């Protein structure tokens, strides 16, 4: 996994609550058997005026001028700012892969849906929860200031604004450690293979029906 | 010290080890796999030279991409076909049991797990699909995971997890005739909101929940994720045990007896503490219809589309305005005046035999309205389809003008050919009314099977209690 330490990037304001994973990456793109290439279809239904299908040349489609990703002001942004319950709905990790492939490295919102939140860490995308009032302040600042950037420091668990304000966020110590070091979860878990085997042996005694196949 | 909740018991029984911050390595008993969220996980295993830890815990099926029409010629969409063939190949190479497209046992992953007895009380169940919460109806700890976690479970039989908080939703009293598990689920979401369950495991309890069949409990737990909770739970009782007895994957003989004895403990202790408790009066619940683009945008059928100007929360009011615009509705319009173009009866929420019986009872001897372009029934599995045919339900639907299809996820998420065209309005028994969910520009209204059937006959929403 790619490590996350610090990030300074332009902010893209997506002023919507309950942004679901169907909106982040619509279902027709889930037919891919790869992990990459989803970026051009991030927010596909909102981003283009004409319907999209896998394999289309997106450069020939009509962009929706009212959608924030098509606003030249926010081009090259790497931090997405959104409202509450971001990433609700389906468990598709393709949503995280699409954000990542587009170049988003962190999402700031007042709350996230559990599965999306969990999935983000697996691809080195940092979901940051800030208060509603802090998020409001950031929305106001980013819309008022062209080229508005933030600096995120995972070690310090802080988001710094150009005006010198610092907003602190929570992150589980274990997740933070894995993200800072870019550690592979599976490799870490397999270091405990003996403990898993011991648990399994004990369970086979206690609840043998859990191990009986058809 | 207070007693344990059902969730606490399931959690404690599966912890292999814990990190200092409480992150636990949780052992997984059953891993259900489908074609959409697994190819990258198998690829990851292959690239790292790893193997599945315990193949007999895995059960695979293709459901999202499969056609619901004639399957003799396979899947015509080459991209969908490749995804299903990739699953077939991965299952072959890694020696995983798969119900393939021509197998009668094939169906929606959350229908076939319980149907086969592959979901058992006391298990941990995961699947790369958010509606895995369905299996919590059996007193199992079940939730959706992402593809990286699918790979993690395949490789290690475990999942890295932080424990959720405990919520109990008690639905007390009896529901009126015509009010179903789907209506209870939508009423709960109306009460707590789509993010109300975030960070929680929700146990559904109370007289109205106890009175539900296993099919109804599955519908309720299925929708827990639409309230934000990864896991829904219902305590084990005789209804659970009666449902499971004799199913192919359920234990037999002495092992069955031992299992049933152990399952007696799968309920929350009397003195268990919940972080949040919500009480709903079952008698107050009326048939529900969603009007917007989030499951919390829902009202009883005898109400009108709400007015965003009356909503004090600015962000919420803005979401409501966007939803009304997308849905092509005006505030104040009675729900029963909303005319529909299509009807979809199916999905992991409502495609089981009881759902089909409820819908058939409404349409029997009637006909789909002229303004309804398509009304379809998609059974949850080949076995549900067969049973429905044995009961003559297929003929009732076909005579009423419905299409009787092959099993799969179908128009719940429109990954196959079944979808809404832009602007089309659908009465759907599925679980999500998000923008574009059933096809780009499509407009979804979530309802129970009986309500969908009544809407098909009337051509607009009607109160099934008066139908």
Instruction: State the pLDDT at residue B128.
Output: 98
Could you tell me if B420 lies within 8 Å of chain A, comparing CB atoms?
no
3-state SS, residue B60:
strand
Please tell me which of the candidates A30, A91, A213 has its beta carbon nearest to residue B146: A91
Residue in B276, B260, B239, B227 with CA at minimum distance from that of residue B5:
B276
Instruction: State the pLDDT at residue B395.
Output: 98
Helix axes B147-156, B39-48, angle to 10 degrees: 50
* B310 pLDDT tier (thresholds 50, 70, 90): very high
Please tell me which of the candidates A16, A55, A189 has its beta carbon nearest to residue B160: A189
Q: How many CA atoms lie within 13 A of B350 on its CB side?
A: 33
Placement of tokens 């299992």 in the chain: B259
Nearest-by-CA chain B residue for A84: B195
Is-contact B289 B305, C-beta < 8 A?
Answer: no
Instruction: State the pLDDT at residue B172.
Output: 98
Instruction: State the pLDDT at residue B5.
Output: 98
Instruction: State the pLDDT at residue A214.
Output: 55
Instruction: State the pLDDT at residue B452.
Output: 98
User: Looking at beta carbons, which residues of chain A come within 8 Å of B249?
Assistant: 213-214
User: Looking at beta carbons, which residues of chain A come within 8 Å of B154?
Assistant: none
* B73 pLDDT tier (thresholds 50, 70, 90): confident
Residue A179 has pLDDT above 80, yes or no: yes
Tell me the percentage of chain A whose pLDDT exceeds 90. 97
3-state SS, residue A5:
coil
Q: Cα B335 from chain centroid? A: 24
* A1 pLDDT tier (thresholds 50, 70, 90): confident
> Region B180-195: what's the mean pLDDT?
97
Is-contact B438 A93, C-beta < 8 A?
Answer: no
B 37-76 near A (Cβ less than 8 A) = 37, 39-40, 43, 48, 50, 53-54, 56, 64-65
Q: What is the DSSP string of B320-385?
A: HHHHHHHHT--TT-BGGG-B-SEEEE-TTTS-SHHHHHHHHHHHTT----TT-SEEEE--SBHHHH
Dihedral sign of CA atoms B393, B394, B399, B403 in order: positive
| Per-residue pLDDT tens over the stretch B241-280 | 999 999 999 999 999 999 999 999 999 999 999 999 999 9
List the structure tokens of B240: 């659970």
* B1 pLDDT tier (thresholds 50, 70, 90): low
> Region B143-152: what's the mean pLDDT?
98
Q: What is the DSSP string of B11-49?
A: HHHHEEEE-TTS-EEEE-SEEEE-TTTSHHHHHHHHHHT
**DSSP element (H, E) containing B278:** strand B276-281
Could you tell me if B210 lies within 8 Å of chain A, comparing CB atoms?
no
CB contact under 8 A, A22 and B16: no
| E-strand stretches of B378-429 | 403-404, 425-428
| Per-residue pLDDT tens over the stretch A110-162 | 999 999 999 999 989 999 999 999 999 999 999 999 999 999 999 999 999 99
**C-alpha to C-alpha distance for B388 and B360, rounded to whole angstroms:** 10
């Amino acid at each position: 996994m790619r490590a996350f330490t610090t990030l300074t990037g332009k902010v893209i304001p997506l002023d919507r609550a309950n942004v679901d994973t169907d909106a982040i990456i619509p279902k027709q793109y889930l037919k891919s058997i790869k992990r990459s290439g989803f970026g051009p279809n991030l927010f596909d239904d909102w981003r283009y005026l004409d319907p999209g299908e896998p394999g289309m040349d997106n450069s020939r489609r009509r962009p929706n001028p009212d959608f924030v990703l098509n606003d030249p002001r926010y081009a090259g942004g790497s931090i997405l700012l959104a409202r509450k319950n971001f990433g609700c709905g389906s468990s598709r990790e393709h949503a995280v892969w699409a954000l990542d492939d587009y170049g988003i490295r962190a999402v700031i919102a007042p709350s996230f849906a559990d599965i999306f939140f969990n999935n983000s860490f697996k691809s080195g995308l940092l979901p940051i929860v800030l208060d509603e009032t802090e998020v409001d302040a950031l929305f106001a600042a980013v819309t008022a200031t062209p080229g508005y950037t933030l600096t995120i420091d995972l070690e310090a668990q802080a988001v710094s604004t150009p005006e010198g304000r610092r907003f602190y966020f929570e992150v589980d110590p274990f997740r933070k450690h894995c993200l800072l070091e870019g550690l592979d979860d599976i490799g870490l878990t397999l270091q405990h293979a003996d403990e898993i085997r011991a648990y399994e042996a004990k369970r086979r005694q206690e609840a043998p029906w859990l191990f009986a196949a058809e | 010290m207070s007693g344990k909740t059902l969730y606490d018991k399931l959690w404690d029984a599966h912890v292999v080890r814990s990190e200092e911050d409480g992150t636990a390595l949780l052992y997984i008993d059953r891993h259900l796999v489908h074609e959409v969220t697994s190819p990258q996980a198998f690829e990851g295993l292959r690239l790292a030279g790893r193997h599945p830890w315990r193949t007999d815990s895995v059960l695979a099926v293709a459901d999202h991409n499969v056609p619901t029409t004639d399957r003799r010629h396979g899947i015509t969409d080459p991209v969908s076909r490749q995804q299903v063939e990739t699953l077939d190949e991965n299952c072959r190479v890694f020696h995983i049991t798969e119900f393939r497209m021509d197998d009668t046992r094939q169906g929606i992953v959350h229908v076939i797990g319980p149907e086969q007895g592959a979901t058992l009380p006391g298990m941990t169940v995961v699947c790369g699909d958010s509606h895995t919460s369905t299996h919590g109806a059996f007193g199992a700890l079940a939730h959706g995971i992402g593809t990286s976690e699918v790979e993690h479970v395949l490789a290690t039989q475990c999942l890295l997890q932080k424990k959720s908080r405990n919520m109990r939703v008690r639905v007390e009293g009896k529901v009126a005739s015509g009010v179903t598990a789907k209506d209870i689920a939508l009423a709960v979401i109306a009460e707590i909101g789509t993010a109300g369950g975030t960070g929680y495991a929700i146990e559904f309890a109370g007289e109205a929940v106890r009175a539900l069949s296993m099919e109804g409990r599955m519908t309720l737990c299925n929708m827990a994720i639409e309230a934000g909770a990864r896991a829904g739970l219902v305590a084990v009782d005789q209804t659970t045990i009666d449902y499971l007895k004799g199913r192919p994957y359920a234990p037999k003989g002495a092992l069955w007896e031992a299992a049933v004895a152990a399952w007696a403990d799968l309920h929350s202790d009397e003195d268990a503490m919940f972080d949040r408790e919500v009480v709903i009066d079952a008698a107050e619940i009326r048939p529900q219809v969603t009007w917007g683009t989030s499951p919390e945008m829902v009202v009883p059928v005898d109400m009108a589309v709400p007015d965003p100007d009356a909503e004090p929360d600015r962000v919420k009011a803005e979401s409501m305005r966007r939803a009304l615009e997308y849905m092509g509705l005006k505030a104040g319009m009675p729900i029963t005046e909303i005319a529909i173009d299509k009807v979809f009866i199916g999905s992991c929420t409502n495609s089981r035999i009881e759902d089909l019986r409820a819908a058939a009872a409404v349409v029997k001897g009637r006909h789909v309205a002229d303004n309804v372009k398509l009304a379809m029934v998609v059974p949850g599995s080949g076995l549900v389809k067969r049973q429905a045919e044995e009961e003559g339900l297929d003929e009732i639907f076909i005579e009423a003008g419905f299409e009787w299809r092959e099993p799969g996820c179908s128009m719940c998420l429109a990954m196959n050919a079944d979808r809404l065209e832009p602007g089309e309005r659908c009465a759907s028994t599925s679980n999500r009314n998000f923008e574009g969910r059933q096809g780009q520009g499509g407009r979804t209204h979530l309802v129970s099977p009986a309500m969908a059937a009544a809407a098909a006959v009337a051509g607009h929403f009607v109160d099934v209690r008066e139908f």
